[in-house]
Amino acid sequence: MKVNKTWLALPMLITWLMLTFNVQARALPDFTELVADNGDAVVNISTHNKAEPASSMMPRGLELPEGSGIDDFFKKFFEGQQGGAPVPRESESLGSGFVISEDGYILTNYHVIKDAEEIIVRFSDRTELVAKLLGSDERSDVALLKVDANGLKTVKLGDSNALKVGEWVLAIGSPFGFDYSATQGIVSALGRSLPSDSYVPFIQTDVSINPGNSGGPLFNLKGEVVGINSQIYSRTGGFMGVSFAIPIDTVMNVVAQIKSQGYVSRGWLGVVIQDVTRELAESFGLDKPKGALVSRVVADSPAEKAGFKTGDVIIKFNDKEVDTSSDLPPIVGRTMVGKKVNVDIIRSNKPKTLKVTIEELPADEQLASNSPSKPGRFVDDRLSMEVADISPKQREELDLAKGGVMVMKVEQGPAIKAGIRPGDVVLSLNNKEIKDPHHFVEIAKELPVNKPIPVLIQRGGGSQFLALEIKE
């Protein structure tokens, strides 16, 4: 009897496929134990805020005949009025949190409990306790709560500095009010800086985070909390694959300050910075884009006292590398107030080290905004722009002691290609401070061609460098 060799090889093929499947299955993380071990330490947080009664909730376009009795009924229904007196309405917010100590300390986001008159914490066994707000920090979006309890299940805190891009992470929270939901993903990026939160080096993940997840923990595969889920990037209001968590080391620094002094203080350098683009790097004599470019030194700040100047490029702060401008604020913010540190800079193509004593970040830094200029204009045909002098009143509003010119008009040419716009204040051109419009025109005449030139402008309360190039 002749045996088909294909049939003899079939068992071996099946065995190989099963082994391959098992290897691939083992390569994927199993979060079941992690969720079982930590689910009881995650809590649901709801708040009650008294809201002002609305003067009218009547739907637009709904017209009812007066005196019919029906109009009175609907006014009471929609406006919440009884006998003509407005009925106070309450708003409720929903979020997540987690227990960090057996005696009832709980972490969540500041925005979850903002303006709350009552904070209610609900545990996995449906027990509800009223929490006391011990302290919060709006800048880092962290809040510390305390409930009157003992022997609570707690999470284990990890080291967010040890995280790596591509590492598996898991979130537990209450998206849309669905308690104790677990979602998984990977770390997408580290040290992300968001426009409204420059003092937090966010962890970016692709973990599914939605409204209600805020304040919940982000775990690594060891079952350690490495961050607090805080924000999402979305154009629809729902999850779109980009989520942000506050690193746990940042969070615990806030907690330590709240416990010790009742508030959070941060280090302050006193500079306005921007990224170094390829063109700006060339104009400042740098080999490649690197560091934080100082576009303004705040008056009477630690930076001014230490001798910082506009145009300095900060490449290292207190022995920590500054690759991009977003690296600097978190490093400065975590520096102890009163500490004297070394700052390595590039100035006029040469390395230099400055010593600066860090002060406390002011509660509310205000930068002046631009305002229209007055007549007395000068036209520069080479740059295709029109500038004007700045009146004493405008200088006060712009917080400008001296120098600078207001851009009145920009036409097609080098200036508009560099991004200069009407309303900008030109402070320096090719690293030379501008005294007045006439001085501006004189400097513009001497500018080299086919080479990026740094232009320092003030716009919308902030200052920044632009790279301008005049083609031959």
On whether 141 is known to bind a ligand per the annotation, the reply is yes
Q: Which of 111, 234, 369, 439 is catalytic?
A: 111
On whether 213 is known to bind a ligand per the annotation, the reply is yes
Output the six-digit token pair for 412.
């097609």
198 in catalytic set: no
* Pair 328, 350: CB distance under 8 Å: no
On whether 30 is known to bind a ligand per the annotation, the reply is no
How far apart (Å, rounded) are the C-alpha atoms in residues 184 and 172?
9
Q: Which of 214, 295, 373, 463 is catalytic?
A: 214
Angle at alpha carbon of residue 459, lines to 281 and 324, rounded to 5°? 35
- What's the chain's Rg over C-alpha atoms? 30
Q: Looking up tokens 């513009």, which residue turns up?
A: 444
Give the long-range contacts of residues 295-300, CB within 8 A, separation 24 or more.
Answer: 295/456, 295/462, 295/463, 295/464, 295/465, 296/271, 296/272, 296/458, 296/462, 296/463, 297/270, 297/271, 297/272, 298/270, 298/271, 298/272, 298/365, 299/399, 299/401
Q: Which of 137, 141, 179, 327 is catalytic?
A: 141
Four-residue CA torsion sign, 313, 319, 322, 326: negative
| Cα 83 from chain centre | 48
How far apart (Å, rounded) are the C-alpha atoms in residues 204 and 184?
13
Phi/psi for 272 (5° steps) reads -100, 130
Coil/strand/helix, residue 329: helix
How far apart (Å, rounded) are the C-alpha atoms in residues 377 and 82?
64
30 in catalytic set: no
DSSP string, 233-291: --SSSS--S-EEEEEHHHHHHHHHHHHHHSS---EE--EEEEE--HHHHHHTT-SSS-S
214 in catalytic set: yes
Output the six-digit token pair for 136.
């919060």
On whether 214 is known to bind a ligand per the annotation, the reply is yes
How far apart (Å, rounded) are the C-alpha atoms in residues 64 and 74?
9
Please choose, from the candidates 462, 372, 365, 380, the residue with its C-alpha nearest in 3D space to the C-alpha of residue 414: 380
Amino acid identity at 463 = S
Classify residue 212 by burial, with Cβ atoms within 10 Å: 0-12, 13-18, 19+. buried
* Pair 213, 105: CB distance under 8 Å: no
Q: Which residues are annotated as a binding site for substrate?
A: 111, 141, 212-214
List the catalytic residues.
111, 141, 214
Q: Which residues are annotated as a binding site?
A: 111, 141, 212-214
